[in-house]
A and B are shown apart, each in its own frame.
Chain A
Amino acid sequence: MNLMISLKSEFLKTKRSPIWLFTIAMALIVPIFVLIIFKEEHDGVPSDQIKVFSKDAWNFYFYQGRGMISIVFLPMFIVLISALLPQIEYRNHTWKQVFASPQSYWKIYFSKFLIFNAFMICFFIAHGLFMGVSGMFSGMLNPKFNFAGNQVDWSQYLMKMSQAYLAILPLATLQFWLGLRFKSFLIPIGVGVLFSILGMINMIGYKLIDPDKFFFNYAAFIFFKENVARIPYVLWASTAYAVAFLLIGFLDFSRIRER
């Protein structure tokens, strides 16, 4: 039996689930926020940002949005979604039926992991689309930003989003494992919030440790321009962390004594 069948089964379980709505809502926050905060004028005083915007409005707008999701909203989304997804099984008491069905443990684990990734990708896509719509509205409301005279550098955007995806993977795989492991969603949320806060403090507050050594810094690390030279290293380290967490998680999942 191929993985696609398990994947389809997992996908069907999310039908009509509020998780889809949650993903869209989370992806909407930053586009609405940037639309509100970036204005030509603040209390009748022209904004300092007109100069920056008029040169490269779209890419600057997307850059700001990417910064907000990388540092705050993407880790938050990962933490919450990794706790919510396994609750489909826990809340409905369906784990026993899943394990009594003819699927290998790795198919159960990886199909769930792929669905989890599908939600992440959906979040990225929705964020990009909403940023585009938000940018259009911003252009209408703030003609001096000169959105009409600029274009989005799509290849740059896709590369940066791919980097953001890779950089968040270690936290995502760790959270995915914890979400499956514990019936109470408070444990994965607690651990995830702790790591996210540590990452934020270390990247934008007090630099306590070498940020490129620890996975919880990576999502924010790659956003800052001064770290550009270290990005390839961080992305490799991120991939290594993700693979390690994924394998440790699977070993643990396949050895659970009681299902």
Chain B
Amino acid sequence: MNNIIKTIGLTHFHSKKSKTLSDINLKIDKGQIYGFLGPNGAGKTTTLRLILGLLKTQQGKIEIFGQDFQSNRIDILKKVGSLIENPSLYGHLRADENLEVYRKLYGASKARLTEVLKIVGLDNTAKKKVKQFSLGMKQRLSVALALLPNPELLILDEPANGLDPTGIIELRELVKKLNKEHGMTILMSSHQLTEIEKMVSHVGIIAKGEMIFQGSLEELHLLQKKQAKLLIRTSDNVGAISVLKAYEPEQLDDAISVAYQNEQDIADIGRKLYEKQLDIYLLQPVQNNLEQLFMDLTTQHA
């Protein structure tokens, strides 16, 4: 069993006329840190809620640990830690009491409870009730709750919400550590690629309820390279288009845009234009980082 999560044709309607998800086929293998990306309202949380059984599956199938979720819900949930949307905590209880509510349900020991509080740095909150916690502390306690069962699969929905920059860095280190040292498979959603690109091994991008990319971070980088554009303005743009046919040129207002893969391509383009005796006024790579690619992919889809 290599697939930890596999969804087949997952489709969900919020109401009869409002389709929230359309044919989502997630595939997350053991040991991956999977970043589930998309703008707000794209369908990330709905997908995660379906995976955890918080929403009834309408169309499609969900398999976790190679088992059908519907018929093996309890066995599966024993091995899954989750944090969905806002922190789900009892404000009138202390940090350790919040974990105690779930400790025996997951069959976790008292030592594990202390350990997870230590991991998230909340082992010294003494008698403070959770309602007196800052949002960041609540978020960290929610992470501790998700870690309590020492899960094989950790599902974190926008875990960086409410965390300050230091908290985000700590979360990043924690996620990497859990994956590396404990072999946890981690699925985490975010609406910001920059927030998670430094920790994920695989990425799924969703927009308007449809998956528009799924693959490794390397594959995303490849796509980024494929989508790289060079902006060119010469003394004869029409002539330049015929010279650069191999680079799929596109006529803009007063310039042309061509696709390129690497710096060698830029040199080759310059050389070709020079050989045709065209004066080059502008030869500029368009800003093309992963964030821009993410923006392009999601806005193109919109």
Contact = CB atoms under 8 A, between A and B. Distances in A.
Contact of B88 (A1, A15, A93): A93
Contacts of B93: 12-13, 15-16
| B53, B78, B89, B104 pick with most chain A CB within 10 angstroms | B104
A257 B50 CA distance: 11
B44 to A, nearest CB: 15
Contacts of A9: 101-102, 104-105
Nearest to A5: B104
| A6, A9, A92 pick with most chain B CB within 10 angstroms | A92
A179 B129 CA distance: 26
A16 B52 CA distance: 30
A104 B74 contact: yes
Interface stretch (A71-79, A95-103, A112-120): A95-103
B105 A5 contact: yes
A258 B90 contact: no
User: How big is the A interface, by class?
Assistant: 20 to 34
A95 B53 CA distance: 12
A1 B105 contact: yes
Contact of B54 (A5, A13, A100, A104): A100
Interface residues of B, number: 32
B86 interface: yes
A227 interface: no
Interface in B97-148: 97, 100-102, 104-107, 129, 145
B82 interface: yes
Contact of B97 (A6, A12, A102): A12
A94 interface: yes
A101 B77 contact: yes
B105 A100 contact: no
Interface string A217-259: 0000000000000000000000000000000000000000111
A94 B141 CA distance: 13
A16 B92 contact: yes
A88 interface: yes
Nearest to B107: A1
A100 B101 contact: no
| B101, B104, B107, B145 pick with most chain A CB within 10 angstroms | B101
A235 B145 CA distance: 45
A258 B46 CA distance: 10
Interface in A13-52: 13, 15-17
A99 B54 contact: yes
B55 A12 contact: no
A207 interface: no
Contacts of B107: 1
A17 B104 CA distance: 21
Contacts of B129: 16
28 contacts: A1-B105, A5-B104, A5-B105, A8-B104, A12-B93, A12-B97, A13-B90, A13-B93, A13-B101, A16-B129, A88-B90, A91-B91, A92-B88, A93-B88, A94-B88, A94-B90, A96-B49, A96-B88, A100-B77, A100-B84, A101-B77, A101-B102, A102-B105, A103-B74, A257-B56, A258-B54, A258-B56, A259-B49
Given A100-B80, A101-B102, 4 more contacts: A13-B93, A92-B91, A93-B87, A101-B77
Interface of B: 49, 52-56, 74-75, 77-78, 80, 82, 84-93, 97, 100-102, 104-107, 129, 145
